[in-house]
Structure 1
């Protein structure tokens, strides 16, 4: 058991998005929505910055949910974290490339973290923690696909590639390729994240952002269940090269997606 009381493993994987975290207004409301929808159980997580829990499925911690204290008024949102061997080096690289380092790096039980925005304004996290292997992609409830929606994916790939040192990594474990009109990151033989073109204020009406997709058995059923739990569908479910997707909004306005694997 970790020092924060958790028993499930939390994995930091260098150079790719490997953790996601939601900052909610009301943690109980978030747990009541996401728990039944994604089959999550909850364990206590590090609470240095306010109430925080780990979402657990299949014995693995797959996401964090927190609520900031002190009248925090920012919109509810999911943040994707890139793993790194050095949060300080990554933070320096963010500054050197003209992007915004908003917070940190800060130390806490699970390592060191920082929050930044890329040159187009997409927010992301930086996490230096105990390095591990990428999680299974057949794990229901896990964030199995994370995609940057941005006007210029090639410029974004150059930025993230320099910050997280994509060049020169072991090609047996890490690869960057062009696939299905996206810059795709592959870890240990599996596509895990991508950078795709979308003009700001596009179909989703959002600025550049990282979209988190959680694995479900049946996307259409999950869309219906989300609405029953008080969430909102942001359009009909649709088929993508990576599975059937539905974009959703939770009870407090946090946006995310669910995806079921292609048969």
Structure 2
């Protein structure tokens, strides 16, 4: 059984009510201003400062939150990448579960004003984040608008689903737990009936091309895939893969990979 997300006394949704579900996507980059310039030109986003500090910003599309962009601390040896974050009730317990199941915790848990976060990788090296605490102000709007969706490209989707299921309590009877469905060769993750992620088999761990190694892909639906892809290239991005009119995988000037997909008429 699933329940509606609950809010704290301040009216802000807590990670404890939607545990195990994707709750945000974020890019950590070397130059915050340059990244804002690129994504503003390529995706039409505007930016406002986030509650996490002046080195973090929230990207907005038509006034609605889309994603976060933050500046990497010089001491952190972390690759520039788009990363999904999953809501958890207890960051310490979750990082312990990750390690127990042969995953890796690279950073954290680190405390912030509104919560605690950590960066980790699963057994095949796909990087993801966890977040305990207050979710983004306007999280309900973000969830309903679905400005980003996730796909895990992994060696074995069913094995990966077991790993993440044990880490995040997927497919349990606990209120708020995400549901897991098996469709052909994919695993589909649902939260409160919404498809929030897909897990697909076929990634190659030793592939020279990082785009086909195990990784979490962040997809942004857009109305004009080809136009956005062209804009990204004009402003320093690189086209990695293109299916005209349908989707394009791009690399931003700092190396971050992301995918844009065609938004349906009904979205």
Smaller-chain TM-score bracket = 0.7 to 0.9
Evaluate the alpha carbon distance shift between residue 91 and residue 134 of structure 1 in structure 2; reply closer, same or farther with a 3 A threshold.
Answer: farther
Q: How many angstroms does 1:164 deviate by? A: 0.4
Q: CA RMSD in A?
A: 2.7
Match of 2:142 among 125, 129, 135: 135
Structure 1 gaps, min length 5: 1-8
Q: How many angstroms does 1:236 deviate by? A: 1.8
Question: In the alignment, is residue 179 of structure 1 matched against residue 186 of structure 2?
Answer: no
Supply the distance in 1 between the matched residues of 2:92 and 2:63 (Cα, whole angstroms). 31
What do residues 167-207 of structure 1 show as CA deviations (whole Å, max 9, x unaligned)? Answer: 22468873211235310111222212111112322876543
Question: In the alignment, is residue 27 of structure 1 matched against residue 29 of structure 2?
Answer: no
Evaluate the alpha carbon distance shift between residue 10 and residue 62 of structure 1 in structure 2; reply closer, same or farther with a 3 A threshold.
Answer: farther
Evaluate the alpha carbon distance shift between residue 180 and residue 57 of structure 1 in structure 2; reply closer, same or farther with a 3 A threshold.
Answer: farther
Question: In the alignment, is residue 153 of structure 1 matched against residue 160 of structure 2?
Answer: no
Question: In the alignment, is residue 99 of structure 1 matched against residue 106 of structure 2?
Answer: no
Evaluate the alpha carbon distance shift between residue 136 and residue 260 of structure 1 in structure 2; reply closer, same or farther with a 3 A threshold.
Answer: farther
Alignment of 1:32-181 (within 5 A): 32-47=37-52, 51-70=55-74, 74-130=78-134, 133=140, 135-136=142-143, 138=145, 142-143=147-148, 145-169=149-173, 174-179=178-183, 181=185
Evaluate the alpha carbon distance shift between residue 205 and residue 168 of structure 1 in structure 2; reply closer, same or farther with a 3 A threshold.
Answer: closer
Structure 2 gaps, min length 5: 1-11
**More helix as a share of residues:** 2
User: When the two structures are superposed, what TM-score results if normalisation uses the length of structure 2?
Assistant: 0.82
Aligned length: 247
Match of 1:193 among 193, 197, 206: 197
Contact 1:11 1:133 in 2 (8 A): no
Alignment of 1:203-222 (within 5 A): 205-222=211-228
